[in-house]
Amino acid sequence: MSSYVITVSIFIVIQAIVAYGLNIIVGYAGQISLGHAAFFGIGAYSAALLSTRAGMVFWVAAPLVMLITGGIGLILGLPSLRVRADFLAITTIGINFIVEALFLYVPFFGGALGIGGIPRVRFMGLRLFGTSYLGLCLLCLGAVILVSWWFTKCWAGLACMALGEDETAASSMGISPVRFKLLAFVIGTAMAGLGGALYAHQMRFIAPSDFGFPVSVMILSLIVLGGMGTLWGPLIGAIILGALPEIFRPFTEYRMLLYGVILLIMIRFQPSGLLGEDSIIRKILKKYWTGGNDEK
């Protein structure tokens, strides 16, 4: 593989990791968030600061980064307990702008210049980049998918999904809205934090604009495209939306237009996403895999 393909792949994998986090919050727990890039950024900045200022190695810093991001996610998830649907969407947009502004205007975060000189990740003395770094990212992606899968199977996940479907009915079944909304926010934002850490060590230089509102929109588009609340949707979405701009590189100015058109087409014709329930692809897969036996 050429280093170009590897670099693109690394970004696709990182985006997928962040998208899996959003999928927990939006797809499973049904809490709309348009500020996910804020947590991606918090992860990236924590990783950058821990490695450049505190001199921490990645392996120690990464779990810490997830703790920090998840902790902030817990606090910033609090509005979801009070406001719903469209109001929550606006609140999360606000959170995104505030976090980006903090990175930009607080000198501690390096201001508009961002943070540079982030070292590469080392493993047993070896500097990881290119293929080996892609391997690390894939491992993390695997872990994130595993956690997502476990989430759909465990009791807490069932509680979150019930809440996402019908909050009133769920709470009258004994499911505490407070606890499980926040749980979804913590898990989802911690995943974004992990993605952020990987991003920081890949770019080795980060700036506030990497984590702005358009990035949140892109991550949301990606899970809408792939299929919200499905296990493989975020990955498919990340691959398609990550690879398309590279394939259509000559039309790079039209990238946002392309996103818009794809989203509109999806919402009109496949509202549940490529892998969502009742989608064309799912029907075809079902036909081939189960020989037409409709099980679920």
Partner 1 sequence: MLLQVNDLNISYKEVRAVHGVSFSIEEGELVSIIGANGAGKTSILNALIGLVPCGRQSSIFFSGKDITSLPSHERARKGIRIVPERARVFPRLTVYENLLTGIYGLRAKVDLKERLEWLYGFFPVLEERREQYSHTLSGGEQQQLAIARALISEPKVLLVDEISMGLMPLLVEKVFEILGDLNRKFGITILIVEQNALASLRISNRAYVLEAGRIVMKGNASMLIQDKRIREAYLGI
Among 166, 251, 267, 290, binds partner 1 (CB under 8 A): 166
Spatial separation of the C-alpha atoms in residues 200 and 56, rounded to whole Å: 14
Which CB atom, from 131 or from 176, has the smaller least distance to partner 1?
176
> Does 293 participate in binding partner 1 (rule CB under 8 A)?
no
Told to check if 161 binds partner 1 by CB under 8 A, we report yes
Position 277 contacts partner 1 (CB under 8 A): yes
Among 63, 165, 248, 287, the residue binding partner 1 under the rule CB under 8 A is: 165
The only residue of 1, 54, 154, 173 in contact with partner 1, by rule CB under 8 A: 173
Contacts of 254 (CB under 8 A, 6+ apart): 248
- Residue 144 within binding range of partner 1, rule CB under 8 A: no
Looking at the Cβ atoms of 159 and 215, the one nearer to partner 1 is: 159
Half-sphere exposure of 122 (CA within 13 A, CB side): 9
Contact 226/237 with Cβ under 8 angstroms?
A: yes
Identify whether the C-beta of residue 39 lies closer than 8 Å to the C-beta of residue 45: no
How many chain residues bind partner 1 (CB under 8 A)? Answer: 21
Query: Which of 3, 131, 176, 290 is close enough to bind partner 1 by CB under 8 A?
Result: 176
> What are the beta bridge partners of residue 126?
123
Residue 209 binds partner 1 (CB under 8 A) = no
Beta carbon of residue 85, minimum distance to partner 1 (angstroms, whole number): 17
Residue 55: which region, alpha, beta or left (left: phi > 0; alpha: psi -120 to 50)? left
Contact 221, 228 (CB under 8 A): no
Q: Give CA angle at 295 (290, 296), nearest 5°.
A: 115
Is residue 117 part of the contact set for partner 1 (CB under 8 A)?
Answer: no
Given the complex with partner 1, which of 37 and 160 has the nearer CB atom?
A: 160
Distances (CA, A) of 143 to 137, 175, 201: 10, 27, 19
In this chain, which stretch among 122-130, 160-168, 202-210, 215-223 interacts with partner 1, using CB under 8 A? 160-168
Q: Rounded to whole angstroms, how far apart are CA atoms 128 and 139?
A: 13
Among 75, 112, 169, 280, binds partner 1 (CB under 8 A): 169
Out of 12, 37, 134, 159, name the contact with partner 1 by CB under 8 A. 159
Structural Rg of the chain based on CA atoms: 19
Q: Which stretch binds partner 1 (CB under 8 A): 85-93, 113-121, 164-172, 189-197?
A: 164-172
Q: Which CB sits closer to partner 1, 193 or 276?
A: 276
Query: What is the greatest pairwise CA distance in the chain?
Result: 61
d(CA 275, CA 216): 21
Q: Which residues bind partner 1 (CB under 8 A)?
A: 155, 158-159, 161-162, 165-166, 168-177, 229, 277, 295-296
